[in-house]
Amino acid sequence: MRAAELVVECLENEGVEYIFGIPGEENLDLMDALIDSPIRFITVRHEQGAAFMADVYGRLTGRPGVCLGTLGPGATNLITGVADANLDRAPVVAIAGQGSTHRLHKESHQIVDLVNLFVPITKYATSVREPEVIPEIIRKAFKVAKTEKPGATFIELPENIAAEEVAEGTPLPVQDPLPPWPAADRLAEVAALIAAAERPLVLAGNGVIRAGAAAELDAFATTLSIPVAMTFMAKGVIPRSHPMSLGTVGLSGNDLIACGFGRADLVLCVGYDMVEYHPERWHRDPEQKVIHVGQLPAEVDAHYSLAAGLVGDIGAALSSLTERLTPRADNWAAALNRAIQDENQEHAGDDGFPVKPQKILWDLRQVLAPKDILISDVGAHKMWIARMWQAQAPNTCIISNGFASMGIGVPGALAAKLAHPERQVVSITGDAGFLMNSQEIETALRLGLSFVVLIWNDAAYGLIKWHQDRRFGRDTQIGFNNPDFVQYAESFGARGYRVEAAGALMSVLEEALHCGTVAVVDCPVDYAENMRLTERLAALTCPV
């Protein structure tokens, strides 16, 4: 068989369902080998979209998403999405064609050193130089991509190697490592510290979701009456309606959840990754004890000095701690939780136009089921989603916050719909981020998918304006003109809607969700709320 056919056999062995990418001259043999494979190739309109699709697919399923480009510009177009997956801890295997090995040693058309290009943004990057090593390379790429902390890997496949005949080769057995069981002496140490604390607080990170330990965290928090704050990427790890949920931490300024951190005498960081939210932001009192619970030891950081660390299976650790500790009767942060819930409902009936961010999110929550999926692009809207969206289940609110790249919204929604066709999917994006990868609407329509793209339209780079106004009291170079988004959507064959009054928003969303195809909703947003929020937080008095 050809080496390319062996690659496909190995991908099938890994359980790959989809490959997102674009055919090219240097991956011709691989594309031909896929014709008779059950793996479905998703032809996209830009390789960045392919990488974002693999990124979101990997994060939602826990199985590596696979993306494919050709050499040179095809491979470099993958870079942003691959880097995003790597810092968002999403398992991804990126594959790129390459020119013949006979011309890699010299200046040659479209040749760049792809392996060294991908080394800084992946966990593992290599080139296939002999067909016989393909099973080892594929197995290692998938194993490394899935192993904590998950991330991206990269395989370069030169065109002459892909076309070579291979005498023998079979896929290797899929054997992924299990996390270790937490050590008994460390469990006892951590349990003693928690028992001695008067105001313990959990900071839950995306690692809890990756470990499938949401139920154990719920039981831990419920039994011991310990409030839980979540990072952006851990939204929904316990339901926002849970009495122990304080919602999401992550704004740089003071807010109600920061009041909880200021009051806590012990912070139990579970599945926490400082790429999500740096400890300098929340660990300001040197007397406050910090405990790290994760599948890997804590990162070294001057602001993350530990009283104790517990390494091992997160679910097992939480269950063991719950069994060892005496249940508590009261929630010391109950008043804080009530204040946060009151704030979330404050603008439910607001009829101002353009529509306030809080109102948009409130109305959208009313029309989506608890396990429907919200994909957040990056921009000012991301900060409002992180702060206000009432996520009720793990992995139902996907926020890019490690690499935080604009343009993930539309391709991310496509991948979410492939991963969970039974659920409604909504992508919230800014008008800037939308146009970075809106061409993937055509891909979604070609696949017969249906989801909603909700554009927050302010004709500006709203997040940058917010930062400029806060720092300098003025802004510069943030405005632009937009196309007619309704006509733009309809030019693809999608449905287009425009929100023209706050009171019409919910009915527009309902219609868009049930139109049976891709729907683009143009919603003017009142980003004057950004500075109002800044002023409000500056004057905040903590209720606890």
CATH code given to domain 3-163: 3.40.50.970
- In whole angstroms, give the CA distance from residue 496 to residue 422: 23
**CATH 3.30.70.141 is the classification of domain 346-536:** no
Q: What is d(CA 79, CA 94) in angstroms, rounded to the nearest whole number?
A: 9
Q: What is the DSSP string of 378-413?
A: SSHHHHHHHHH----STTSEEE--SS--TT-HHHHH
Residue 111 has pLDDT above 90, yes or no: no
**Per-residue pLDDT tens over the stretch 190-216:** 999 999 999 999 999 999 999 999 999
- Has domain 184-336 been given CATH number 3.40.50.1220? yes
Would you give the end-to-end CA distance of the chain in angstroms?
69
Per-residue confidence band for 490, with pLDDT thresholds at 50, 70 and 90: very high
* pTM listed for this prediction: 0.95
CA pair distance 239, 456, nearest whole angstrom: 26
Half-sphere exposure of 500 (CA within 13 A, CB side): 3
pLDDT (tens digit per residue) in 285-329:
889 999 999 999 999 999 999 999 999 999 999 999 999 999 988
Q: Please state the domain extents for the chain.
A: 3-163, 184-336, 346-536
In this structure, what DSSP letter does residue 449 have? Answer: -
Give the pLDDT of residue 307: 96
What is the residue-averaged pLDDT of the chain?
94
Q: What was the pLDDT predicted at 252?
A: 62
Alpha-helical (H) ranges within 203-313 are: 206-210, 214-224, 256-263
Residues 6+ apart with CB under 8 A from 143: 175, 176, 177
Question: E strands along 243-306, which residues?
Answer: 245-248, 266-270, 289-294
Structure tokens at 331: 């929630």
β-pair partners for 270: 204, 293
Question: What's the average model confidence in pLDDT over 272-295?
Answer: 91
Amino acid at 537: L
Are the C-beta atoms of 90 and 40 separated by less than 8 Å? no
Percentage of residues of the chain with pLDDT beyond 70: 99
Cβ atoms of 383 and 430 within 8 Å: the answer is: no
pLDDT of 506 reads 97
